[in-house]
Chains A and B, each alone.
Chain A
């Protein structure tokens, strides 16, 4: 069964702090995606990780992929309130289907 597990599912952090969201997946896929979703909104693509060891950074967010461990991480540096949202990782499997994790609801408090 395809399974993508994120942890934590809920994360409340203070502005200025660092934290990491973990995404474990079950297949040997080497393609992993991170999306952001604001309440009632659509999914915004953040990162596309296409190979083992891939690391991408955009502003305060950095994503990495370890295909051997079947693990991707999303690291938040010096969090700000604007980063409050739900973050999903998704694994691409056969036929380009995306299998999503349950999402991590991030709240950044002043």
Chain B
């Protein structure tokens, strides 16, 4: 069964460093998303992406964040200068069409020290 994959599974970085989180969505999906979950808290929407552009972003998704689909398969989230409060689990999700369900990847745990 097709699934969303994410790499790395765990990333440790120092405050101020740039990180890139990678996702490979399900191949025929058209809608792509990033969410994050701070430990013990609810899942929060960051950004949605369709037709090679951002369709919506939350207030969390400030200038430090960017997304890219550099080729036909990968979808990346870049954090330019990480802060301690960026420590969280980051989930990528993809969807075939709206309003169909979003399929979540296994997540990347980001630890900023």
Q: Which residues of A contact B (CB under 8 A)?
A: 31, 33, 35, 41-45, 48, 50, 88, 90, 92, 94-103
Determine the residue in chain A with the shortest Cβ distance to B46: A97
B103→A98 contact, CB < 8 A: no
Q: In the complex, which residues of chain A have a beta carbon less than 8 angstroms from the beta carbon of B103?
A: 45
B58 CB, min distance to chain A CBs, angstroms: 7
Number of A-B contacts (CB under 8 A): 58
B102→A98 contact, CB < 8 A: yes
The answer to whether A100 and B101 touch (CB under 8 A), given A41-B106, A94-B56, A95-B56, is no
- In the complex, besides A94-B56, A95-B48, A100-B45, 18 extra interface pairs with C-beta distance below 8 angstroms are A31-B99, A33-B101, A41-B106, A42-B106, A42-B107, A43-B43, A43-B91, A45-B101, A45-B102, A90-B43, A92-B99, A96-B55, A97-B58, A98-B35, A98-B45, A98-B102, A101-B42, A103-B42
Q: In the complex, which residues of chain B have a beta carbon less than 8 angstroms from the beta carbon of A101?
A: 42
Determine the residue in chain B with the shortest Cβ distance to A97: B45
A88→B48 contact, CB < 8 A: no
Q: Chain B, interface size: which category?
A: 20 to 34
Q: Which of A42, A96, A102 contacts B48 (CB 8 A)?
A: A96
**Bound Cα distance from A101 to B37, whole angstroms:** 12
Interface centre among B41, B43, B99 (most CB of A within 10 A): B43
A42→B101 contact, CB < 8 A: no
B40 CB, min distance to chain A CBs, angstroms: 9
Q: Which of A42, A45, A97, A103 contacts B105 (CB 8 A)?
A: A42
A sample of 19 cross-chain residue pairs with beta-carbon separation below 8 angstroms, ordered by A number, consists of A33-B101, A33-B102, A35-B104, A42-B106, A43-B43, A88-B42, A90-B43, A94-B56, A95-B55, A96-B98, A96-B99, A97-B45, A98-B45, A98-B102, A99-B45, A100-B42, A100-B44, A100-B45, A102-B42
